[in-house]
Amino acid sequence: MAVVLRLKRTGSKNNSCFRIVAMDKKSARDGKAIEELGFYDPRHKDEKCNLERAEYWLSVGAQPSDTVKAIIKRAQDGTKLSDKVKKTAPSKKAVAKMAAQKEAEAAAKAEAAAAKKAAEAAAKEETAEKTEEAAAE
Protein backbone atom coordinates (compact mmCIF):
# COMPACT_ATOMS: atom_id res chain seq x y z
CA MET A 1 0.00 0.00 0.00
CA ALA A 2 1.57 3.29 -1.15
CA VAL A 3 0.83 6.08 1.29
CA VAL A 4 0.83 9.75 0.28
CA LEU A 5 0.45 12.94 2.27
CA ARG A 6 -1.98 15.18 0.44
CA LEU A 7 -4.88 17.59 0.81
CA LYS A 8 -8.47 16.48 1.26
CA ARG A 9 -10.99 19.15 0.22
CA THR A 10 -13.67 20.22 2.66
CA GLY A 11 -15.89 23.27 2.79
CA SER A 12 -18.66 24.47 0.56
CA LYS A 13 -18.67 25.65 -3.03
CA ASN A 14 -16.28 28.60 -3.57
CA ASN A 15 -15.29 28.35 0.09
CA SER A 16 -12.69 25.63 0.08
CA CYS A 17 -10.73 24.42 3.06
CA PHE A 18 -8.38 21.47 3.14
CA ARG A 19 -7.24 18.81 5.59
CA ILE A 20 -3.71 17.46 5.45
CA VAL A 21 -4.10 13.68 5.47
CA ALA A 22 -2.21 10.45 5.00
CA MET A 23 -4.07 8.25 2.52
CA ASP A 24 -3.62 5.37 0.15
CA LYS A 25 -2.42 6.61 -3.24
CA LYS A 26 -5.30 4.90 -5.06
CA SER A 27 -8.10 6.37 -2.90
CA ALA A 28 -10.27 9.26 -4.09
CA ARG A 29 -9.32 12.85 -3.27
CA ASP A 30 -12.04 13.16 -0.64
CA GLY A 31 -12.02 9.47 0.29
CA LYS A 32 -11.28 7.81 3.60
CA ALA A 33 -8.01 8.89 5.16
CA ILE A 34 -5.67 6.77 7.25
CA GLU A 35 -4.87 9.73 9.50
CA GLU A 36 -5.52 13.49 9.58
CA LEU A 37 -2.40 15.54 10.22
CA GLY A 38 -3.69 19.10 10.11
CA PHE A 39 -5.56 21.65 8.03
CA TYR A 40 -4.96 24.37 5.45
CA ASP A 41 -7.32 27.28 4.78
CA PRO A 42 -6.12 29.29 1.76
CA ARG A 43 -8.84 31.95 2.07
CA HIS A 44 -7.85 32.99 5.59
CA LYS A 45 -4.20 32.01 5.11
CA ASP A 46 -4.34 29.70 8.09
CA GLU A 47 -2.58 26.36 8.39
CA LYS A 48 -1.65 23.88 11.07
CA CYS A 49 0.29 20.65 10.79
CA ASN A 50 1.20 17.96 13.34
CA LEU A 51 4.92 17.80 12.55
CA GLU A 52 5.58 14.76 14.72
CA ARG A 53 3.11 12.60 12.79
CA ALA A 54 4.15 14.08 9.43
CA GLU A 55 7.77 13.17 10.15
CA TYR A 56 6.66 9.67 11.09
CA TRP A 57 4.80 9.19 7.81
CA LEU A 58 7.72 10.59 5.82
CA SER A 59 10.10 8.22 7.66
CA VAL A 60 8.04 5.17 6.68
CA GLY A 61 8.07 6.19 3.00
CA ALA A 62 4.98 8.35 2.47
CA GLN A 63 5.33 10.76 -0.46
CA PRO A 64 4.07 14.33 0.18
CA SER A 65 2.40 16.42 -2.51
CA ASP A 66 4.10 19.69 -3.47
CA THR A 67 1.65 21.78 -1.43
CA VAL A 68 1.91 19.56 1.64
CA LYS A 69 5.71 19.63 1.33
CA ALA A 70 5.60 23.46 1.35
CA ILE A 71 3.23 23.51 4.36
CA ILE A 72 5.47 21.13 6.33
CA LYS A 73 8.54 23.22 5.46
CA ARG A 74 6.83 26.43 6.67
CA ALA A 75 5.75 24.67 9.87
CA GLN A 76 9.33 23.47 10.48
CA ASP A 77 10.71 26.97 9.87
CA GLY A 78 8.08 28.50 12.13
CA THR A 79 6.81 30.89 9.46
CA LYS A 80 3.17 31.49 8.64
CA LEU A 81 1.50 31.72 5.27
CA SER A 82 0.08 35.12 6.23
CA ASP A 83 3.64 36.42 6.79
CA LYS A 84 4.55 35.67 3.20
CA VAL A 85 4.42 38.85 1.11
CA LYS A 86 3.64 38.48 -2.55
CA LYS A 87 5.87 40.58 -4.79
CA THR A 88 3.95 42.68 -7.25
CA ALA A 89 5.25 42.92 -10.77
CA PRO A 90 4.94 46.24 -12.61
CA SER A 91 2.28 46.41 -15.29
CA LYS A 92 3.09 46.48 -19.00
CA LYS A 93 2.21 50.16 -19.09
CA ALA A 94 4.59 50.94 -16.21
CA VAL A 95 7.40 48.93 -17.84
CA ALA A 96 6.90 50.81 -21.13
CA LYS A 97 6.88 54.14 -19.26
CA MET A 98 10.15 53.28 -17.46
CA ALA A 99 11.77 52.22 -20.76
CA ALA A 100 10.69 55.48 -22.43
CA GLN A 101 12.07 57.45 -19.49
CA LYS A 102 15.44 55.63 -19.72
CA GLU A 103 15.57 56.32 -23.47
CA ALA A 104 14.84 60.01 -22.87
CA GLU A 105 17.59 60.20 -20.23
CA ALA A 106 20.05 58.48 -22.60
CA ALA A 107 19.12 60.88 -25.41
CA ALA A 108 19.57 63.87 -23.06
CA LYS A 109 23.03 62.59 -22.01
CA ALA A 110 24.03 62.06 -25.65
CA GLU A 111 22.79 65.55 -26.54
CA ALA A 112 24.70 67.06 -23.61
CA ALA A 113 27.87 65.19 -24.64
CA ALA A 114 27.48 66.41 -28.24
CA ALA A 115 26.99 69.99 -27.04
CA LYS A 116 30.08 69.71 -24.83
CA LYS A 117 32.15 68.40 -27.76
CA ALA A 118 30.88 71.22 -29.96
CA ALA A 119 31.78 73.78 -27.30
CA GLU A 120 35.26 72.27 -26.94
CA ALA A 121 35.72 72.29 -30.73
CA ALA A 122 34.60 75.94 -30.87
CA ALA A 123 37.01 76.81 -28.06
CA LYS A 124 39.87 75.07 -29.91
CA GLU A 125 39.02 76.95 -33.13
CA GLU A 126 38.92 80.22 -31.22
CA THR A 127 42.29 79.58 -29.58
CA ALA A 128 43.70 78.51 -32.94
CA GLU A 129 42.44 81.74 -34.53
CA LYS A 130 43.96 83.81 -31.73
CA THR A 131 47.31 82.04 -32.10
CA GLU A 132 47.20 82.64 -35.87
CA GLU A 133 46.40 86.34 -35.34
CA ALA A 134 49.20 86.61 -32.80
CA ALA A 135 51.60 84.89 -35.20
CA ALA A 136 50.47 87.16 -38.05
CA GLU A 137 51.20 90.32 -36.06
CATH topology assigned to domain 3-83: S16 Ribosomal Protein; Chain: A; (3.30.1320)
pTM of the model: 0.60
| Across 35-44, 87-96, 122-131, least confident range | 122-131
Q: How confident is the model at residue 133 (pLDDT cuts 50, 70, 90)?
A: confident
83: left (phi over 0), alpha (psi -120 to 50) or beta: alpha
Res 137: pLDDT: 63
In angstroms, the CA 65 to CA 98 distance is 41
